[in-house]
Amino acid sequence: MRFLARREHSRAELVQKLAPHAEGSEQIETLLDDLVRQGFLSDARYAEGIARTRGARFGSERVEHELRQKGVADSLVNNAIRELRDGDLATARVIWEKKFGSFPKDAKQRARQVRFLQSRGFNLQTILKLLRNGAD
């Protein structure tokens, strides 16, 4: 309960955190099933929360990767990031304006901006669309 009181966790995260303290995996699974039944644990709620908080600072690809690493089911990941994908261009524009503010003047600056946006989890198509629209 102490883990869940601080923040939402995925089921897989809790399995990892509780494994050193449990006698067996059946004990952990029983506990987690009870937490799900009582509404204290929900992978769907976890995925939506991560998508909401990380979506303002990162692209949908990075959020999707993080959720998959945390052991969230594919269907829940797809549902959580559906809206992020639609707003990727707008989010990338806000992040880009805050960091750079002006369009690249040469290939070196362009490569730097592309690398930065890729590290934030935006796909190349979105990045090129952003930089192409500004150059027109």
Counting the structural domains of the chain, the total is 2
Q: What's the chain's average pLDDT?
A: 87
Same domain, 93 and 81: no
Can you tell me the mean pLDDT for 86-115? Answer: 93
pTM of the predicted protein model: 0.80
The per-residue pLDDT for range 34-80, each reduced to its tens digit, is 888 888 888 888 899 999 999 889 999 999 999 999 889 999 999 98
> Which residues, in sequence order, are CB contacts of 83 under 8 Å at separation 6+?
51, 55
Greater model confidence, 1 or 34 = 34
Q: Which of 60, 86, 112 is the last residue of a domain?
A: 86
Domain residues for the domain of 112 are 88-135
What does residue 37 show for φ and ψ, rounded to 5 degrees?
Answer: -60, -35
Given this model, what pLDDT does residue 4 score?
64
Same domain, 62 and 31: yes
Query: CA 78 to CA 37: how far, in whole Å?
Result: 23
Query: CA 83 to CA 59: how far, in whole Å?
Result: 11
Same domain, 42 and 67: yes
Q: Which two tokens stand for residue 22?
A: 């449990």
Q: Which two tokens stand for residue 8?
A: 């939402």
Query: CA 112 to CA 23: how far, in whole Å?
Result: 51
Same domain, 77 and 129: no
